[in-house]
Amino acid sequence: MRADRRTLLIGAGALALGGCARATEPAAVEPVALDLDLSALEARHGGRLGVSVASEGKRAAWRGDERFVYCSTFKMYLAAATLLRVQAGQERLDRAIPVTQADMISHAPVTEPAVGSTLTIEQLMKGTVEVSDNPAANILIREMGGVDALRAFYRGIGDDSTRVDRLEPELNVADDDKDTITPHQSVQNIQRLLVDANTPLNPESKALLMRWLVDSPSGAGRIKAGAPAGWTVAHKTGTGGYGPVNDIGLILPPDGEPIAIAVYFHATKDSTDAQREAVIADATRLALKALGHG
């Protein structure tokens, strides 16, 4: 059973989940696999592209089972993991965390102005998701118990493959399979958390996460640019700075079911940011077309 659009946006329908323990899940019906050939797009721009998209019992993918460095897209899942801790009584949205100079690393639009004062767990999550604040992400990981606790979250939602190895900014650097995910797994996680009626997120948690994902100003040239006019995009970007450019989330048509999508593009080093983002937009259009949209 899938949640309708209104239910998705307000977060209705929930399953209580203590901590990060895995919930009992009903037997899933295998989605109908549709063709998605992005070989021409790859040949035109170089690099390696991974895409998975799913909605209404259908899915399409290109390199869907290959691993990609996820960069800051993981921050969507970090926020979800923290929200589950709040639900379990292990954390509080209003708990104030001191922010120190020792926490500072590159890209700190929310935390740097707060050095010497405090930010709440809710403010740290909002900054992590909306503007991808790196120190905020590291603080949240620290407060939940480190990378082992974040890894346990993934296993708790049925993701046995995503790697969790390092903090920001090291996790952006390609190193074998460290800090990688497959497009298929990312889409499954998105559906589990934000689409499935038995999501472990309660209505309040889901509504908060959806608000941050929709309000994020980043990535205007990525999935947002590939979605039809008038459709809502709830997403989280990730950028490696040396080639990887990613975007994952939900595309919400005015009518109809939400579309889960994950696009990971490891571009060539000589390409520009605009060129890399345009590839994600083109891949989004082609993926939507494969599902019958456009």
| pLDDT tens-place string over residues 47-101 | 999 999 999 999 999 999 999 999 999 999 999 999 999 999 999 999 999 999 9
What mean pLDDT value characterizes the chain? 92
CB atoms closer than 10 angstroms to residue 6 = 8
Q: What letter represents residue 171's amino acid?
A: L
- Stated pTM of the model: 0.90
Residues annotated as part of the active site: 72
Contacts of 269 (CB under 8 A, 6+ apart): 242, 243
Give me the pLDDT at residue 28, please: 60
Could you read off the pLDDT of 160-185 as tens digits, one per residue? Answer: 999 999 999 999 999 999 999 999 99
Question: Could you tell me where the DSSP H helices lie in 16-158?
Answer: 39-45, 74-87, 121-130, 134-144, 147-156
Give me the pLDDT at residue 4, please: 46
Taking 50 as the threshold, does the pLDDT of residue 1 lie above it? no
Token pair for 11: 């977060």
Q: What is the CA radius of gyration of the chain?
A: 18
Taking 90 as the threshold, does the pLDDT of residue 26 lie above it? no
Give me the pLDDT at residue 27, please: 54
Token pair for 154: 């993934």
Give me the pLDDT at residue 294, please: 75
